[in-house]
Amino acid sequence: MSHPFTPGPVDRAIGRRAGWVAVCAFVLLASLTLWVMRASEPLLPTDAGLHSWSVAHRPAWAAAAARAVTETGTGVIPYAVLFLVGMYVGRTARQRCTVALALIVCLGAGQALRYTAMSVVARPRPPVGDWVAHASGWSFPSGHSTTAAMTAALAIAALSFGSRRGSRLAVAVIGLWGVAVGLTRVYLGVHWFTDVLGGWLFAVGWVCLVVWAYVRWAPAVGRKEA
């Protein structure tokens, strides 16, 4: 089986670093989750202030723009983005299909784990009267924020490690999009900021874990199958 890249010393160092980042992100996420679950008040620091500011500074045009951005963080769009990235980074047809499928599977698995965590925490959303977008389910961690951040991080990882690399501009645009989707969830009133922060931490931890595992095992599997 062919793989999109053969890791050198720099790649292996990045893989080790990604493993440590994953550990740190999950430790922080666990701490934040316990804080959210044990808080005597429904709001944590920054939540009330950012929510109030969003509600007070939300003209119709800005809300419409935020809804347009937030819709890109769910449904088929994240999967389509990863499919296109997979088609780009591979040199051969087999590599392209392998990378695209792997990215899509990683996103789907991450979404399933995030949904499980959300069901366990069962945190209520902000007051419905403050919403200017549709939302459903529990609040922590934010689904749109997690999905967009995972998509962005997976795409950046593929563009960084793949046979064909992405430009710095492309990487920056993808990263900014991943952050922007999360911020719109607070601006639209459907999530607390700590919901978004939890989604970002989950995404960073999950994708860094995937990068660590890929650098550690995938090339060895490829050599055995060759």
* Average pLDDT value for residue range 140-165: 89
- The answer, yes or no, to whether residue 166 has pLDDT greater than 80, is no
- The answer, yes or no, to whether residue 225 has pLDDT greater than 50, is no
Q: Check if the beta carbon of residue 82 is closer than 8 Å to that of residue 99.
A: no
pLDDT at 222: 41
Distance from C-alpha of 58 to C-alpha of 134, rounded to nearest angstrom: 16
Helix (H, G, I), strand (E, B) or coil at 172: helix
Average pLDDT along the chain:
88
According to the CATH classification, is domain 9-40+48-217 in 1.20.144? yes
Taken in order 98, 108, 216, 209, is the CA torsion positive or negative? positive
pLDDT at 163: 63
Distance from C-alpha of 145 to C-alpha of 142, rounded to nearest angstrom: 5
Q: How many CA atoms lie within 13 A of 42 on its CB side?
A: 11
Q: Check if the beta carbon of residue 149 is closer than 8 Å to that of residue 107.
A: no
Q: How much of the chain, in percent, has pLDDT values that exceed 90? A: 66
pLDDT at 11: 64
- The answer, yes or no, to whether residue 220 has pLDDT greater than 50, is no
Distance from C-alpha of 63 to C-alpha of 58, rounded to nearest angstrom: 6
- How confident is the model over 11-36, as pLDDT tens digits? 677 778 889 999 999 999 999 999 99
- The answer, yes or no, to whether residue 94 has pLDDT greater than 50, is yes
**Residues in Cβ contact with 27 at an 8 Å cutoff, skipping those fewer than 6 apart:** none
Domain ranges of the chain: 9-40+48-217
| 44 or 203, greater pLDDT | 203
